[in-house]
Amino acid sequence: MRAGDPRRLAAMCLLITQSTIQSAQIVAPILDDDALAAELRYALNGYLS
């Protein structure tokens, strides 16, 4: 996990996750639930690395 202010990191993780969940129906033709969850994992892991 990268160094940084834990509150800032948590806030960004929250925003990334909320955006993903709120946009799930829009991207459903491209990403099913499993694919969306996988992409969210990649995004969060990349952000926190």
Residue 18: which domain range? 6-48
Residue 10: pLDDT above 90? yes
Instruction: Confirm whether 28 is domain-assigned.
Output: yes
Contact between 19 and 26 (Cβ < 8 Å): no
Query: How many domains, in total, are found in the chain?
Result: 1
Element (H, E) at 23: none
Instruction: Confirm whether 1 is domain-assigned.
Output: no
Q: What is the pLDDT of residue 42?
A: 98
Query: pLDDT band at 1, cuts 50/70/90?
Result: confident
Contact between 10 and 19 (Cβ < 8 Å): no
Residue 47: pLDDT above 90? yes
Please report, in angstroms and rounded to a whole number, the separation of the first and last CA atoms in the chain: 5
